Amino acid sequence: MVFVLNAKGVIEDANKPAEEQLNYEPGSLRGKPIHNLYKGNLSWFKNITRQLKNENSLILNDGILHTKEGIIIPVQMRATYFKNELKKQLILLTATDITFQMKTENLIIRAIIDTQEKERRRLAKDLHDSLTQQLSAIKFYISTTSDLTRNQKQKTILVKSNEALTEVIAKMRNICFNLTPKKVVWLLI
């Protein structure tokens, strides 16, 4: 979509794709303030003109345009100064619909999150099912050996080892619990 704007942000011309995408009749965008399409106040346009004056080059900005019916279209906007045949300085504003790009990015982010959550579930399950179970078996053997031994010094060492294993198992369970994604935790409770 291409718009030609005057210094006040009024549309002096718009191309056919702009009119079609925004569902306006041919020529009906002329004379309308651009903020009617942006559905905001003029501060964003003033910011663009301020940046253009300071940098005197191309300005990139993400935003939202609204169709005649109020449907939101996310766009990437580019603005630059140019002079028409009468040497009047105008602003050329192009807006590219980025709806598909945003949907694609959201799908990629969702796939990354799903993969991470799946790996966290697998790691938590592996830790719980293998290491925690093996530590519990070792704890059982130490406890049994502690009960059978007559040597008080060995019994003390075995009791302390049993207590240390109890703490390790509790910490391991907490790690497994914390690794499990929250939506899965709720299913486990």
Full DSSP string of 74-106: EEEEEEEEEE-TT--EEEEEEEEE-HHHHHHHH
User: What is the chain's mean pLDDT, rounded?
Assistant: 87
Least confident of 23-37, 67-81, 96-110, 175-189: 175-189
**Among 29, 91, 107, 26, residue whose Cα is nearest residue 57:** 91
Residue that finishes a domain, picked among 97, 130, 157? 97
**Same domain flag for 65 and 82:** yes
Q: Per-residue pLDDT for 184 more than 50?
A: no
Give the pLDDT confidence score for residue 59 in this predicted structure. 76
**Same domain flag for 179 and 111:** yes
Output the pTM of the full model.
Answer: 0.62
Higher-confidence residue of 121 and 15: namely: 15
- Once rounded to an integer, what is the mean pLDDT over residues 48-60? 78
The CA radius of gyration of the chain, in Å to the nearest whole number, is: 33
- Rounded to 5°, the CA angle 158-143-125 comes to 110
Higher-confidence residue of 48 and 119: namely: 119
| Reported confidence tier of residue 41, pLDDT bands at 50, 70, 90 | low
Give the pLDDT confidence score for residue 40 in this predicted structure. 59
> Is 99 in contact with 73 (CB distance < 8 Å)?
yes
Which residues have C-beta within 8 Å of that of residue 177, sequence separation ≥ 6? 124, 185
**Same domain flag for 6 and 42:** yes
Share above pLDDT 70 across residues of the chain, in percent, rounded to a whole number: 93
Share above pLDDT 90 across residues of the chain, in percent, rounded to a whole number: 52
- Once rounded to an integer, what is the mean pLDDT over residues 134-163? 93
**Same domain flag for 152 and 93:** no
Question: Tokens for 90?
Answer: 């105008």
Give the pLDDT confidence score for residue 16 in this predicted structure. 96
- Report how far residue 172's alpha carbon sits from residue 153's, in angstroms, rounded to the nearest whole number: 29
**Same domain flag for 93 and 107:** no
**Same domain flag for 92 and 111:** no
Residue that finishes a domain, picked among 97, 113, 142? 97
Q: Per-residue pLDDT for 36 more than 90?
A: no
